[in-house]
Amino acid sequence: MSTLQINEVAPRDGLQIEADFVPTVDKIGLIDALSATGLARIEATSFVSPKAIPQLRDASVVVAGIQRRPGVGITVLVPNAKGAERALACSVDEVNLVMSASDSHGLANLRMTAQQSLEQFTAILEVVRGHPQGREVFVNASLSTSFGCPFEGEVPEARVLDLVEQQLALGVQGVSLCDTTGMANPAQVGRLCEAVLRHFPQTPFTLHFHNTRGMGLANAMAAWQAGIVRFDASLGGLGGCPYAPGATGNVCTEDLVHMFEEMGVSTGVDLDALLKVSASLPGLIGHDTPGQVVKAGKADRRYPMPG
């Protein structure tokens, strides 16, 4: 089994829903600290309208200010062609497009049906292809609600496969299957992962889990057992979806790394360094985080016998 690739999404997915704006210099410091831990990719920000997500209004300044480390890809979310132009001007390594597998969630979250989102993808890809550095940029698409919609319920496997096929036909190179509101279960995850790997064996798939109902790590295990080696995760378990009341955020990066490393599965991540960064989060955002290992310590932690 190949070394896992962990994509850290806290600087974007985590900070975008925080109530208070995290200063630009602190965002840059967080990303620089994360890039020194051995993570494969870091989703640094989103080139979305500042009116839509004011917490990420400093996207260009953040990307320009971070330290680029060899082997650490910098990816950003781009919602439209204008966002793609801004991102490409910053020489990012990857752009991440987003759409929903269910039309109701797409309309609520993006104001677009799936087909309208695919049309938007076409416009974004035209910008990428027309840019001087476009050939150097990897294009990934995140498919939200791949495992269930909070409005419609079950999303049929055939629907997911069809949308992935259409994304790839447009020129998307990688796909993230997203459990946006934490509805997935391990059995379902295993089936869908096996299906996409069988139908699209040359496509790099990333799995993006939320821990809304406490099944994030179990779902990641099921995906890995099915053959997935790329995972999104968020430092401290930050993040969440506004359409998942009570959500605790994304699957926690340090908890995910700890689980796999304890199993003998290499992630390439320095867990001790990652835990130090996670321990600094409450001071940065002003509240506690749901991550467990940063509180309890690693499984090899030993205590003195009671007196």
* Catalytic residue list: 241
Provide DSSP, the chain: -PPPEEEE-IIIIIGGG-SSPPPHHHHHHHHHHHHTTT-SEEEEEE---TTT-GGGTTHHHHHHHSPP-TT-EEEEE--SHHHHHHHHHTT-SEEEEEEESSHHHHHHHTS--HHHHHHHHHHHHHHHHHSTTGGG-EEEEEEETTT-BTTTB---HHHHHHHHHHHHHHT--EEEEEETTS---HHHHHHHHHHHHHH-TTSPEEEEEB-TTS-HHHHHHHHHHHT--EEEEBGGG----TTSTT---BPBHHHHHHHHHHTT------HHHHHHHHHTHHHHHSS----SHHHH--TT---PPP-
* Tokens (6 digits) for 117: 């989102």
